[in-house]
């Protein structure tokens, strides 16, 4: 039986209201209770930039993975009226977050104590505008959340103009990511990768945000949004992206894999 992850909430002494959630010494979430629009992690800023380049208004959102509920809080603030479902199987984590980092008043965030696959299977066809995959166990994306069958379920739940955003990680060379994309592309053909330029150029391990839809993404607007970031960020799309995954074999439920082991530096101790 796998041991329970060690969970720690650390107050940010430089930012009143800021808290860092650690799980087994891996930075999992950052929450600012005073300002939910403050996004500390770079990959969360990438997610927000994609959303800003997408359509406006309230959304029906399904989150796979809860953590500190950073993105549900953010969307409650910037997309008022949005209804949100969070699939988070760790009930002890959810109880801790509810107690120590309470959700805002009048929120429409419902947390279901189920894993991503089971929770997704229970949702209706075309019931979500947006699905956000941000689920990790011991610093790795669980294997069942990266297969072709999983992405077919995501596509079933999304509305025709819906969007999937996934926070993934990989080593230089994208050996893991190329197989994930090979399983994703048949279900949601319009793809874009967003990450720091050194990750996209294969210089280091790191987070990569994947945006996927049935409808074309506004890549020009996305690039304009990302240009406002204080650090170099790149976007990979079209034939350049297809070259990454075109010859890869997708992960399947019969042949799954977790994302690579986090490198030294992801754990703080």
Q: Domain ranges for the chain, please list them.
A: 16-245
Name beta bridge partners: 167. Answer: 209
| pLDDT of 116 higher than 90 | yes
| CA-to-CA dists, residue 71 to 38, 48, 84, 92, angstroms | 10, 9, 10, 19
| pLDDT of 2 higher than 70 | no
Q: How confident is the model at residue 265, as a pLDDT? A: 58
Q: How confident is the model at residue 244, as a pLDDT? A: 85
pLDDT 10s digits, 62-114: 999 999 999 999 999 999 999 999 999 999 999 999 999 999 999 999 999 99
Tokens 């209770």, residue located = 33
| pLDDT of 268 higher than 60 | no
Q: How confident is the model at residue 269, as a pLDDT? A: 42
C-alpha 108, offset from chain centre:
20
Name the more confident of 224 and 5: 224
User: What angle separates helix 238-245 from helix 175-184, to the nearest 10 degrees?
Assistant: 110
- Torsion angles phi and psi, residue 141, rounded to 5: -70, 125
CATH code of domain 16-245 = 3.40.50.150
| pLDDT of 203 higher than 50 | yes
| pLDDT of 266 higher than 60 | no
Torsion angle, CA of 192/30/95/90, rounded to 10 degrees?
40
Dmax over Cα atoms in the chain, in whole Å? 49
Q: SS3 breakdown of the chain: % helix, strand, coil, rounded to 5?
A: 30, 30, 40
pLDDT 10s digits, 6-64: 899 999 999 999 999 998 888 899 999 999 999 999 999 999 999 999 999 999 999 99
| pLDDT of 264 higher than 80 | no
pLDDT 10s digits, 140-173: 999 999 999 999 999 999 999 999 999 999 999 9
């Amino acid at each position: 039986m796998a041991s329970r992850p060690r969970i720690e909430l650390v107050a940010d002494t430089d930012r009143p209201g800021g808290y860092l959630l650690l799980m087994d010494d891996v930075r999992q979430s950052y929450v600012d209770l005073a300002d939910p629009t403050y996004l500390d992690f770079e990959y969360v800023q990438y997610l927000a930039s994609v959303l800003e380049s997408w359509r406006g208004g309230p959304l029906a959102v399904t989150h796979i993975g809860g953590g500190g509920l950073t993105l549900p809080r953010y969307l409650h603030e910037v997309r008022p009226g949005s209804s949100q479902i969070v699939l988070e199987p760790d009930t002890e984590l959810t109880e801790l977050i509810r107690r120590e980092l309470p959700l805002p008043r009048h929120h429409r965030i419902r947390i279901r104590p189920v894993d991503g696959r089971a929770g997704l299977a229970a949702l209706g066809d075309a019931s979500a505008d947006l699905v956000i995959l941000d689920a990790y166990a011991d610093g790795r994306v669980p294997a069942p959340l990266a297969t072709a069958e999983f992405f077919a379920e995501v596509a079933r739940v999304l509305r025709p103009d819906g969007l999937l955003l996934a926070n993934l990680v990989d080593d230089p060379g994208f050996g893991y990511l190329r197989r994930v994309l090979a399983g994703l592309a048949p279900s949601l053909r319009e793809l874009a990768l967003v990450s720091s330029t050194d990750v996209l150029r294969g210089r280091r391990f790191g987070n990569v945000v994947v945006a996927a839809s049935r409808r074309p993404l506004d890549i020009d607007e996305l690039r304009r949004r990302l240009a406002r970031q204080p650090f170099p960020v790149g976007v990979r799309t079209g034939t350049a992206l297809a070259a990454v995954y075109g010859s890869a074999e997708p992960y399947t439920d019969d042949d799954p894999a977790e994302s690579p082991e986090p490198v030294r530096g992801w754990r703080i101790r």
